[in-house]
């Protein structure tokens, strides 16, 4: 029996423990849990706490209407198709699951399907928004996509029924970010006209207007107010499923000054490779796997790194990392395994358009 002091459990870290019921329990046990917790869900588990399904008040009422009694087994009313999520599922993805399926709670399970927690709609809605500024470089000429970009800026080219930049902003919002700064140049007035102040998307959008192309990083020198927290910098032609909130956590937990997301690629050489020293053979490897890390166009920079920039000077992001390293600032990589694609070429843009949806899954990179 749970005492009265534990009735309001939803803000307690281990509240889910009071929702667990063994698969061999009776309907009366499920009713007792619903009444005592007020969370409108019972989580059905095996004796090792592995997830089987859920029971709601509606499930119980339907069971009774079908002739079950309070002493009947809960096996007959358990929803074995109930949703669950892994611990690293993003808040945006969880909200989408809840909204699409009209549910208010989702159990959290680990890689072994053991219940470790519970997400509720109220907790997600009340979770703190990341205050960090997201800067999106949207000023490029998009020359490789001409003639499409002759009269339309690349960020406004559509994938499905939305511009590339809208997909990027909505994805970042799902990860908890709502303050954006768009660096614009080529046909920038069209981008400003489309997005305005961002209120249509429930975010705040302001602009940096480049007088000349400043590269993938130079616009950061034009910030009116120097940030006090790390900022995220995104290329305006990169579509990715990477969770920006997790990347920020990674950056901060490693005490980094600069973090660059990298996509790991593997290439199997079609040839055997002979290792030599002078004319001597010192080794041989048959069709070795060559691994490299590709700059993914997603970055996090601390304020002290931004201060290394010279105002109005053209600067690309890799050179900023070189400046940071020369200044003995800690720079790290954030390896991403998520879907990622640079839509800066006609081939890649068409590839994404053929998928006709974002987020892209599966996606050939």
Instruction: Please provide residue 24's backbone torsions phi and psi, each rounded to the nearest 5 degrees.
Output: -90, 5
The alpha carbon torsion through 160, 145, 135, 327 (nearest 10 deg) reads: 140
For tokens 């007035």, what's the residue?
189
CB neighbours of 72 closer than 8 A, spacing ≥ 6?
A: 26, 27, 63
CA distance linking residue 201 with residue 138, whole number of Å: 18
Strands (E), the chain: 20-22, 42-45, 51-55, 105-109, 115-120, 134-137, 158-159, 162-163, 179-184, 204-209, 231-235, 238-240, 258-268, 273-277, 280-285, 289-301, 331-336, 340-342
Residue 269's nearest CA partner among 243, 290, 284 is 290
Beta-ladder partners of 341: 239
The set of catalytic residues is 287
Using DSSP, how many helices (H) and how many strands (E) does the chain show? 10, 18
């Amino acid at each position: 029996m749970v005492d009265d002091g534990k009735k309001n459990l939803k803000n307690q870290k281990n509240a889910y423990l009071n929702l667990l019921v063994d698969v061999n329990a009776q309907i009366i046990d499920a009713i007792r849990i619903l009444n005592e917790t007020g969370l409108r869900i019972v989580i059905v588990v095996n004796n090792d706490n592995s997830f089987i399904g859920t029971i709601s008040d509606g499930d119980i009422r339907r069971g009774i209407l079908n002739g079950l009694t309070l002493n009947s087994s809960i096996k007959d009313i358990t929803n074995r198709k109930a949703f669950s999520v892994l611990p690293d599922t993003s808040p945006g993805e969880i909200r989408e699951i809840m909204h699409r399926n009209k549910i208010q709670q989702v159990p959290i399970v680990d890689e072994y399907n053991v219940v470790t927690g519970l997400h509720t709609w109220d907790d997600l809605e009340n979770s703190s928004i990341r205050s960090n500024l997201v800067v999106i470089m949207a000023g490029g000429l998009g020359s490789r996509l001409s003639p499409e970009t002759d009269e339309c800026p690349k960020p406004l080219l559509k994938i499905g029924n939305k511009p590339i930049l809208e997909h990027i902003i909505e994805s970042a919002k799902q990860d908890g970010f709502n303050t954006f700064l768009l660096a614009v140049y080529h046909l920038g007035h069209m981008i400003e006209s489309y997005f305005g102040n961002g209120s249509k998307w429930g975010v705040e959008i302001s602009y940096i207007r480049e007088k000349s192309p400043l590269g993938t990083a130079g616009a950061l020198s034009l910030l009116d107010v120097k940030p006090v927290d790390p900022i995220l910098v995104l290329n305006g032609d990169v579509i990715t499923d990477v969770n920006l909130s997790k990347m920020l956590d990674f950056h901060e937990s490693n005490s980094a000054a600069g973090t660059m997301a990298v996509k790991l690629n593997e290439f199997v050489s079609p040839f055997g490779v002979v290792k030599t020293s002078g004319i001597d053979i010192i080794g041989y490897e048959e069709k070795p796997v060559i691994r490299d890390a590709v700059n993914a166009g997603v970055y996090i920079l601390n304020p002290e790194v931004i201060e290394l920039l010279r105002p109005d000077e053209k600067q690309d992001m890799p050179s900023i990392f070189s400046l940071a390293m020369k200044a003995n600032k800690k720079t790290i990589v954030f390896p991403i395994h998520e879907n990622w694609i640079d839509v800066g070429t006609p081939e890649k843009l068409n590839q994404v358009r053929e998928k006709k949806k974002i987020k892209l899954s599966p996606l050939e990179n």
